[in-house]
A = this chain, B = another copy of it.
Amino acid sequence: MNSVGVVTPQRVTFGAPITLKGGVTLPGFELVYETYGELNAEGSNAVLVCHALSGSHHVAGIYADEPKNVGWWDNLVGPGKPLDTNRFFVVGVNNLGGCYGSTGPMSLNPASGKPYGADFPVVTVEDWVAAQARLADHLGINCWAAVVGGSLGGMQAMEWTLQFPDRIRHALVIASAPKLSAQNIAFNELARQAILSDPDFHGGHYYEHGVVPVNGLRLARMVGHITYLSDDQMGEKFGRELKNDKLSYGYGVDFQIESYLRYQGDRFTTYFDANTYLITTKALDYFDPARDYEGDLQAALARAKANFFVASFSTDWRFAPERSQEIVYALMHNGRDVSYAEIECSAGHDSFLLDDAHYHAVLGAYLDRIET
């Protein structure tokens, strides 16, 4: 099935301190990553895949001991797939502050000997990219052929073109936005308040109490899922279908959509960390390259040298096509080489994770043209 097959996560430790955007200096840090394909002799075929809110370094393939744990973008990455591992050396990385093995809130704080918990600093998209650059150094990658990401991942691709304009040839920014809207921030704040107000949060030090803020994290994930699906798709998929034959006249599950949200919420609490969720929503809220340019996105993107592929989805109401177009227009005004595709797809924001034929065709066509 064109899979990259069994993969093994790797870990790298960076001993040099890193000073984050918020002013905190970490004495060093670890990143967990995976690679697929082979780096060529020139080091010119490397592609970084950046994850979004709940993603990880496990982009493609499976684990030997977990054959059902398929990478989150496995439909895109593999031999003969749009991001073709016969041509490209693909790197997935768990970001700083994450909960899949990279240094984050669950890591031991050398200052206390206990997990960081709430003491782990808020990180930003800029910080992630700075950390990813160290990984690139470690892997001997001077310049990425491409950096690819959807949603928050797309913001990282964009940030690469600004922070390291000479280290990225192509930025693929999918289902993303140049900054969050007030409504986007509102949904993040709702999710954060659900976590922060959970009595089991314990000010972010719940590890020490042997509990997890299950209720808050569950609610946060429900908020997320509502914004990931389009109204249309939710209607098609669930409509007003009842879970059982009759209305319950109580607070159990009446409608299928309720069952779906509860299931997704419950499941999330078994594998994701609440402190990482908080950090990541803040990274989303804070991303705004135009902030230092009085809101002028064109000026903010002036230092980008990469070519861009920007894609949006017709039913995405989290980051609607208009948001992608803001990026496209700013780049065009700067005379950048930019390709834009607006994909008709009913699946809302989540479309970027699906293997819609038209979407994969245009994305694959763009990637095929990248020289390695």
Contacts and interface: CB of A to CB of B under 8 A. Distances in A.
A190 B249 contact: no
Contacts of A179: 240
A182 B249 contact: no
A226 B180 contact: no
B181 A193 contact: no
Contacts of A261: 186, 189-190, 193
Given A185-B258, A197-B219, A240 B121 contact: no
Interface stretch (A54-62, A231-239, A327-335): A231-239
A183 B234 contact: yes
A205 interface: no
Contacts of A286: 247, 254
A218 B234 contact: no
Interface in A260-301: 261-262, 265, 278, 282, 285-286, 288
Given A22-B249, A250-B122, A255-B285, A190 B223 contact: yes
A182 B255 contact: yes
B190 A251 contact: no
Most buried by B among A23, A183, A288: A183
A176 to B, nearest CB: 16
Q: Is the interface of A mostly helix, strand, loop or mixed?
A: helix
Contacts of A218: 193, 197
A262 to B, nearest CB: 7
A19 to B, nearest CB: 12
Interface string A200-211: 000000000000
Interface residues of A, number: 54
A77 interface: no
A366 to B, nearest CB: 30
A239 B182 contact: yes
A167 interface: no
B122 A249 contact: yes
A249 B179 CA distance: 17
Contacts of A262: 189, 193
Contacts of A234: 181-183, 186
A192 B257 contact: no
Given A121-B249, A182-B238, A189-B262, 11 more contacts: A22-B247, A180-B240, A181-B235, A182-B239, A182-B257, A183-B231, A186-B222, A189-B222, A189-B257, A193-B219, A249-B282
3 closest A-B pairs (Cβ-Cβ)? A22-B249, A197-B215, A182-B234
